[in-house]
Amino acid sequence: MDDQTRTELEAAAFRRLVAHLQNRTDVQNIDMMNLTGFCRNCLSKWYRAAAEERGVELSDPAAREAVYGMPYEDWKRLHQTEAKPDQQAAFAASHQGH
């Protein structure tokens, strides 16, 4: 496989992941962090970092909007729920020493 094809496949997989996360608004970021060690916010930070590595200026809000499909504050208002004590405890336990 040549580099261009690999890059195109990776980009397509990224777009599909982002679309999936935009559709699964029932999945909370804290649950993602507890199960996978990353969430939508992490993905938006990686996206912004990749832009910066290539000399492309991208703000945090713009990167989050690219991942969330809307301004982050709107997503939080519409979809984010209060973390339950067990979720917070799992998060704390998985991030000890980080």
Q: Does residue 29 form part of some domain? A: yes
Q: Does residue 74 form part of some domain? A: yes
What's the mean pLDDT in 4-19? 97
Question: Which 3 state secondary structure label does DSSP give 38?
Answer: coil
Rounded to two decimals, what is the model's pTM? 0.86
Expressed as residue numbers, the domain containing 77 is: 3-81
The CATH number of the domain where 58 resides is what? 1.10.3340.10
C-alpha atoms less than 13 angstroms from C-alpha of 18 in its C-beta half-sphere? 20
Q: Does residue 93 form part of some domain? A: no
DSSP codes, 41-80: HHHHHHHHHHHHHTT----HHHHHHHHHSS-HHHHHHHH-
- Residue 82 has what DSSP assignment? P
The tens digit of pLDDT for each residue in 40-61 reads: 999 999 999 999 999 999 999 9
Q: Does residue 92 form part of some domain? A: no
pLDDT value at 98 more than 60: no
